[in-house]
Amino acid sequence: MGQGNARRGRNLVGGKGPPLPEGSLTEAPPVLERPKEPVRRIHFLYPPSFQELLHLVASLHQTLSGSPSLVMLDGLEEYLSGCPSPPMAAQLVALLLDTANHFSQKLGHLPVGCQLLVAMKCPGEAAEEAEYLSVTRRYFPAQVWLDSGVEEAAGSKSCGITKLVRACLSQPGTKDQEWLLQFDPQGDMKISALPLSPEKESGTSSEKERLPRAKAHSIVSGSQNEKSRIS
């Protein structure tokens, strides 16, 4: 576990709480290259297997010195590949929710408590992978689908490539929302809202249609009161 200066590895998820990526970090975003006090309070934890992740989540309430306002788990699909059965996957997700609920109770002064964010790549269409996905998604009412497979060449006056990411937020009781995220070569981000298709506007689109393409990532968010937020 690292605190303050992050270990280097595959991906970084930030926030005032303990991110749990399976791989270590290979590159820190620009914001971490300028030390700031909130960043120093982030805990980075690296359980190498499903069983160790399960044990870690079960003991977070005992091992952390304080109560985080955000817990983030990155690369859930990599842990599920070592999961022995769908019931064990359900146990992991239930433990994550129980842990967030425990910290929320200790953070009574914060109206939103401790939030939980889980990120995973969409699996293939194999029956076993689909079953794992169905089990885990059952616990997370709010979901964001990301399509990061689009790029456009920058203009002649610019150097590098502008990367485009399409994001769709889906949650019960509300209409889907979509945005386009643009990252220029300098790393600056621009977000613009996208109009929904008639099918999504009416809520008749199928789950398969919500997946922009096979490269889509799923970010699912849950908390103890089902009023999940992604921010």
126 and 21 housed in the same domain: yes
Q: Which of 87, 112, 139 is the last residue of a domain?
A: 139
Higher pLDDT, residue 207 or 124? 124
Higher pLDDT, residue 21 or 211? 21
pLDDT digits (tens, 9 = 90+) for 69-123: 889 999 888 898 889 999 999 999 999 999 999 999 988 877 888 989 998 887 6
124 and 180 housed in the same domain: no
Distance in angstroms (rounded) separating the CA atoms of residues 80 and 115: 22
**pLDDT at residue 15 greater than cutoff 80:** no
**pLDDT at residue 217 greater than cutoff 50:** yes
**pLDDT at residue 16 greater than cutoff 60:** no
User: First-to-last CA distance in the chain?
Assistant: 25
Mean pLDDT of 49-72: 90
pLDDT digits (tens, 9 = 90+) for 125-179: 666 667 887 888 888 888 888 887 656 555 545 566 788 889 999 888 889 999 9
118 closest CA partner among 108, 102, 107, 133: 133
pTM of the model: 0.68
Is residue 42 in some structural domain? yes
Is residue 226 in some structural domain? no
Is residue 225 in some structural domain? no
Distance in angstroms (rounded) separating the CA atoms of residues 151 and 16: 31
Strand order in the sheet with 142-153: 70-73, 115-121, 217-222, 142-153, 161-170, 177-183, 189-194
For position 49, what pLDDT does the model report? 94
For position 41, what pLDDT does the model report? 73
Count structural domains, the chain. Answer: 2
Q: What is the mean pLDDT of the chain?
A: 72
pLDDT digits (tens, 9 = 90+) for 173-199: 889 999 999 888 888 899 999 987 665
Is residue 229 in some structural domain? no
185 and 133 housed in the same domain: no
Higher pLDDT, residue 126 or 52? 52
Q: Which of 124, 139, 154 is the last residue of a domain?
A: 139
Dihedral of CA atoms 190, 195, 200, 203 in degrees, nearest 10, equals: 100
Is residue 223 in some structural domain? no
Distance in angstroms (rounded) separating the CA atoms of residues 182 and 165: 7
For position 204, what pLDDT does the model report? 47
Q: Which of 113, 139, 165 is the last residue of a domain?
A: 139
